[in-house]
Amino acid sequence: MHKINFAAKKHAEANPEDKSAVSEVLSAIRPKKISELQQEILQRVLRYKEAIKNSSQKISVMAAHKIRNGSSVLTLGDSQKIIKAIEKAKSAGTNFSVCAIDYRKLPTGRENAQEMLSKAVKESDILFFEPEAVCGDKIIVTEEANAAIEEARKHKVPSYGGYSIFGSSKKPGQKNLREAKASSITGLVSEGGITKPALLGRI
């Protein structure tokens, strides 16, 4: 507070025309009591938690709308966002089947794993995954997710990634990461809606 007063007074001395404005600002500033600061921090934490809850709800609703009656849904990993979207679609009365691939249980050997992914994608109507990170126009995914995305593009199966500005819901661990081609992904579902990845760099 003392540093603020000193800097403000110095500014007022150097800029007499700002003197009244500086005085007005200083009079509005007062040290906050510890109890007030604690209350403010608590309120911000509660607002943040509520925002995360609402965020997850928005993403699941939008993703659920992409699931059609009679469709076959392919999911990758253990993303809570995707699980909630599936639950939302089921609770809305949509009738569909789900194939969930656990990376840890893929067959050993690159060719066997690729064959399994390829077969799963071919038999699906839509692919859901959660990126490890979305940084500007860069979409970071696991090596297995990247392979599935490319298979989906090849077989014209729409692929959607669910992500939040609050970060990933996936469990951390040792993973081989890749940058996915934006042009290979149909859409990214976030709190702000469904975005075409190829346009991210222009926003």
**pLDDT, tens digit (0-9, with 9 covering 90-100), for 13-65:** 666 655 565 565 556 555 555 567 677 777 777 776 776 666 777 888 888 99
Nearest 10 degrees: CA dihedral of 24, 27, 30, 36?
Answer: -70
| Tens-digit pLDDT profile for residues 133-172 | 888 778 999 888 898 999 999 999 999 998 887 665 555 5
**Residue 93 backbone zone (phi > 0: left; psi -120 to 50: alpha; other: beta):** left
For the chain, give the longest Cα–Cα distance: 77
pLDDT at 80 over 70: yes
Question: What's the whole-model pTM score?
Answer: 0.67
Q: Please give the share of the chain, as a percent, with pLDDT higher than 90.
A: 27
Looking at per-residue pLDDT, the higher value among 173 and 145 belongs to 145
d(C-alpha 10, C-alpha 186), whole Å: 57
- Go through the domains of the chain in sequence order and give each one's CATH number: 52-202 (3.40.50.10470)
**CB-based contacts of 32, cutoff 8 Å, min separation 6:** 40
pLDDT value of position 55: 72
Query: Which amino acid, 98?
Result: V
- The answer to whether the beta carbons of residues 134 and 141 sit under 8 Å apart is no
Structure-token match 């500014």, residue found: 11
> Which tokens sit at 71?
């469709």
